[in-house]
């Protein structure tokens, strides 16, 4: 049996992001996977494992993606698994792929996210429809009162401000830093709108107090994929510096968003990060670049605190003055994140791909100088489920 650290992200690919209603989920899925294989120096014929969704078949067949994918590839797949932590699924999926490879269950595993076409509900390109569909991610004890995903996170920000004096201007710094990264990424959804200032963010209309429009993620479509294989395979292909999974951890704590002791700290997120850092044998201060689930600016601030990059309550000071910007104390979501790069489906794949590009030293104008260790955390739902991964140049 091998170690997780012998497993690497060998290939990555991003499709166009935005309104993909003119395309289909399978077309975006295949573009992403074909592209990620090529990036790894592999072909579609090398795939023998799948984590998560495949190119969608209609109806109930969607629940069994591996047989359908195998049929189209013309060879049996040896492994399929699915993680279920929402937007945190990509780090969790990377861990599943790494286990499969480390145990000899598969050699080349793909993980892809593809959202396109006239999908209904949360995958819709229509913002009103997506917002309405996502309202019922809460249970009836909450949604009857008109809660939204924004309101669920706004109450966290409100209490964090009360307890620690965090300000809207500090939260805005996160959006400003990420927008700058998006302006430097040609595939970002919002980079073309140009730079933001703190005044732009706090001057945008309130969605759910204290969160403003520009504290909130995009709602769009798009695709991306990663290919996972052994470090040895990745190195042999010689295309890029292999990026290994050095540590991983999860935490699952509550399903009703209010059923947790405090709405300003999430012990399951801390537990996930502690497990990952212990496994990797590295310290917080060694991390060069981070990808933290950012459906709303407050999510980044809480993610930084919960992962232990700063003390409880000090997230506001940490992100102030460009703390999460490229060149700051911990560059985070350097392509723009869900706020400014893309937010579609199991969007954690976008978070992960950016950290991989940073660790390969292929992030172009967004490059964090000398980045060798990266942290990725994913959040499922509204702080209910957490995954944390430490990645490093192999």
Match 């669920």 to its residue by tokens: 152
Q: In the bound complex, what is the minimum distance in angstroms from residue 155's beta carbon to other proteins?
A: 4
Out of 145, 238, 285, 370, point to the residue binding other proteins (CB under 8 A). Answer: 145
The footprint of other proteins on residues 115-134 (CB under 8 A) is 131-132, 134
Q: Is the dihedral of CA 120, 123, 129, 134 positive or negative?
A: positive
Residue 141 near other proteins by CB under 8 A: yes
Residue 136 near other proteins by CB under 8 A: yes
Residue 370 near other proteins by CB under 8 A: no
Out of 62, 71, 195, 209, point to the residue binding other proteins (CB under 8 A). Answer: 209
**Residues 188-207: x/- map of binding to other proteins (CB under 8 A)?**
-----------------xxx
By C-beta, is 158 or 177 nearer to other proteins? 158
Out of 2, 139, 313, 322, point to the residue binding other proteins (CB under 8 A). Answer: 139
By C-beta, is 54 or 381 nearer to other proteins? 381
Q: Which two tokens stand for residue 361?
A: 């030293």
Q: Which two tokens stand for residue 70?
A: 């195998």
HSE, side-chain direction, 13 A CA sphere, residue 101 = 33
Q: In the bound complex, what is the minimum distance in angstroms from residue 337's beta carbon to other proteins?
A: 20
Residue 142 near other proteins by CB under 8 A: yes
Residue 151 near other proteins by CB under 8 A: yes
Question: How many other CB atoms sit within 10 Å of the CB of residue 320?
Answer: 18
Distance CA 97, CA 262 (A): 34
Residue 324 near other proteins by CB under 8 A: no
Q: Helix or strand or coil: residue 18? A: strand
The footprint of other proteins on residues 257-316 (CB under 8 A) is 258-259, 263
Out of 154, 280, 363, 385, point to the residue binding other proteins (CB under 8 A). Answer: 154
The count of residues in the chain is 394
Q: In the bound complex, what is the minimum distance in angstroms from residue 204's beta carbon to other proteins?
A: 12
Residue 7 near other proteins by CB under 8 A: no
Out of 208, 353, 356, 373, point to the residue binding other proteins (CB under 8 A). Answer: 208
Q: Helix or strand or coil: residue 22? A: coil
Q: Which two tokens stand for residue 180?
A: 């700058």
**Residues 233-262: x/- map of binding to other proteins (CB under 8 A)?**
-----------------------x-xx---
> Among 49-57, 61-69, 139-147, 268-276, which window interacts with other proteins (CB under 8 A)?
139-147
* 281 DSSP 8-state letter: T
Distance CA 242, CA 225 (A): 16
Distance CA 124, CA 130 (A): 6
Residue 340 near other proteins by CB under 8 A: no
Residue 44 near other proteins by CB under 8 A: no
Distance CA 99, CA 105 (A): 8
8 Å CB contact between 177 and 324: yes
What is 157-170 written as a DSSP string?
HHHHHHHH---HHH
Residue 178 near other proteins by CB under 8 A: no
Q: How many residues bind other proteins (CB under 8 A)?
A: 34
Out of 7, 50, 69, 156, point to the residue binding other proteins (CB under 8 A). Answer: 156
Q: Which two tokens stand for residue 261?
A: 């002791």
Strand ranges in the chain using DSSP code E only, listed in sequence order: 7-18, 49-51, 79-81, 109-115, 206-208, 211-212, 221-230, 243-252, 289-292, 373-380, 385-393
Q: In the bound complex, what is the minimum distance in angstroms from residue 69's beta carbon to other proteins?
A: 33
Query: Which burial class, exposed, middle or buried, applies to 145 when counting CB atoms under 10 A from its CB (0-12, 13-18, 19+)?
Result: exposed
Q: What is the CA radius of gyration of the chain?
A: 19
Q: In the bound complex, what is the minimum distance in angstroms from residue 78's beta carbon to other proteins?
A: 38
Phi, psi of 13 (to 5 degrees): -160, 140
> Among 51-59, 157-165, 168-176, 193-201, which window interacts with other proteins (CB under 8 A)?
157-165
Q: In the bound complex, what is the minimum distance in angstroms from residue 141's beta carbon to other proteins?
A: 5
By C-beta, is 185 or 212 nearer to other proteins? 212
Binding site for other proteins (CB under 8 A): 131-132, 134-136, 139-148, 150-151, 154-156, 158-159, 162, 205-211, 256, 258-259, 263
């Amino acid at each position: 049996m091998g170690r997780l650290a012998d497993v690497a992200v060998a290939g990555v690919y991003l499709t166009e992001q935005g309104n993909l209603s003119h395309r289909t989920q399978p077309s975006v899925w295949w573009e992403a996977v074909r592209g990620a294989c090529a990036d790894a120096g592999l072909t579609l014929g090398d795939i023998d494992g799948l984590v998560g969704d495949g190119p969608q078949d209609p109806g109930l067949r969607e629940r069994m993606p591996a047989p359908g994918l195998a049929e189209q590839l013309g060879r049996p797949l040896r492994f399929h698994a699915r993680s279920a932590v929402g937007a945190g699924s990509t780090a969790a999926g990377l861990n599943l792929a790494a286990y499969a490879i480390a145990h000899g269950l598969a050699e080349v595993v793909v993980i892809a996210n593809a959202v396109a076409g006239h999908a209904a509900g949360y995958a819709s390109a229509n913002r009103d429809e997506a917002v309405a569909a996502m309202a019922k991610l809460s249970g009836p004890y909450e949604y009857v009162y008109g809660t939204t995903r924004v309101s669920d996170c706004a109450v966290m920000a409100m209490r964090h401000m009360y307890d620690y004096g965090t300000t809207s201007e500090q939260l805005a710094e996160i959006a400003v830093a990420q927008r700058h990264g998006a302006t430097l990424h040609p595939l970002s959804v919002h980079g073309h709108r140009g730079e933001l200032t703190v005044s732009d963010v706090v001057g945008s209309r309130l969605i759910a107090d204290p969160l403003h429009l520009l504290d909130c993620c995009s709602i769009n479509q798009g695709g991306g994929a990663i290919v996972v294989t052994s470090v040895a395979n990745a190195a042999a292909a010689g295309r890029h510096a292999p990026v290994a999974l050095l540590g991983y951890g999860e935490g699952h704590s509550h399903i009703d968003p209010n059923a947790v002791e405090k709405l300003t700290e999430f012990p399951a997120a801390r537990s996930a990060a502690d497990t990952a850092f212990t496994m990797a044998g590295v310290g917080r201060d060694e991390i060069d670049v981070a990808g933290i689930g950012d459906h709303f600016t407050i999510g980044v601030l809480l993610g930084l605190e919960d992962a232990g990059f700063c003390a409880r309550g000090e997230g506001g000071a940490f992100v102030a003055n460009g703390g999460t910007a490229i060149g700051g104390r911990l560059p985070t979501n350097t392509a723009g994140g869900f706020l400014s790069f893309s937010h579609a489906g199991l969007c954690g794949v976008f978070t992960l791909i950016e950290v991989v590009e940073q660790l390969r030293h292929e992030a172009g104008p967004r490059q964090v100088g000398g980045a060798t260790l990266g942290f990725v955390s994913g959040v499922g739902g509204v702080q209910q489920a957490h995954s944390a991964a430490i990645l490093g140049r192999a």
